[in-house]
Amino acid sequence: MVFRKYFLTLFVLFIFFSCAGTTSGVKKGNMPQWVNDVYSVYSRTEYVAATGFGNTRAAAEGNALAALTAYFGQNVQVERTAASSQQQIVINGILDSWADSAYMGSIIKTTSSMDNLIGAEIIEVWYDSRGTYYAVAVMNKANGIRIYNELLDNNLDIIAVLIAESSSDPVSFKSVLCLLLSAALADINDIYRNVVVLLDGKTNEDFIVSGTYYRVSANDRISRLNIGIRVANDRNGRIFGAFTRCFADWGFEPVLVQSAFPAAMRYVLDVNLGISPVNLPNNSNVFSRIELSANLTDRNNNAVLIPYTFNSREGHTSQIEAENRCIIAAERNINEIYKSLLSEYFSKLLPGK
């Protein structure tokens, strides 16, 4: 699968550059030329380079890599969609479930925000014998161009599959999620492309589309996606609000249905809420029990997508407060358990899992 190829490529790069970044020893003696002028040793035509220093070797290497990354991060002009709720949701949720290891998910996140620079390596470390270490970090331009173009091409392969999947059922959860993930990957491609440009390389511009384009398409389908929530015996809309927040985290916009679900409404969440007093003799507090059931159903095929139940017993000095605690417990459970069930369901909708 193209997805496995993508993650395996990242894994190979991780192993390669982890090994490439290690040095056999620390040089001593006379100060190397690169300490004062890195490009006097590492030609600008072949490398992008930066130096760093610190009171330990690790600090010097870290500062050198940070300086090299900052060069790209400060110069790459990308739309700052990494902070948008939709992209964060996709990157933090779905890509984690796709990754073959924790590292895979981590490298996608860090790369998307330019916190990590694939292809950078520490070439030399020098100790001045007076307590300071110096390090030089470089990226070979030809190698970097090859790496980032390969990563870009693999992302484009994934996006092509996602777009094809989104067209198979245009107004559906799956369609929207495919477009949102395409947007996240397209944003990462903006970074890859600009890194290649800063390395004096070229990319295939004909196939690169901005993340904004996919997000606009996703929002258009969200506006046409009918999701209804009906809550029997709700308390001031609190249970409706709790379920709505779970969907809103993904960009979806459920509506409150007071009576029968409209015929055109595809996805419905029918919630039944019951609260009743509990008699516990010889207890100074009074208690109430809450019982809640909610089935998310796709009415196109009459399939229950996510079954959900919750029950609890809560007590207080008054019946009103005991019932209020029941609602609080339900809100907390919906925010934690139902939100997790929804995320798990959405992650399974995407191809390649």
pTM for the whole thing? 0.75
The string of pLDDT tens digits covering residues 138-192 is: 999 999 999 889 888 888 888 888 999 999 999 999 999 899 888 888 888 888 8
163 membership: H or E segment, kind and range: helix 141-168
pLDDT score for 173: 94
**So where are the chain's domains?**
2-218, 226-349
Per DSSP, the three-state class of 123 is strand
Alpha-carbon span 138 to 17, nearest angstrom? 12
Q: Using pLDDT thresholds of 50, 70 and 90, give the confidence band for residue 107.
A: very low
Q: What CATH number does the domain located at 226-349 have? A: 3.30.160.150
Q: Work out the average pLDDT over 226-233.
A: 95
pLDDT score for 135: 96
- How many Cβ atoms sit within 10 Å of the Cβ of residue 300? 11
- In three state form, how does the secondary structure of 169-190 look? CCCCHHHHHHHHHHHHHHHHHH
pLDDT score for 251: 86
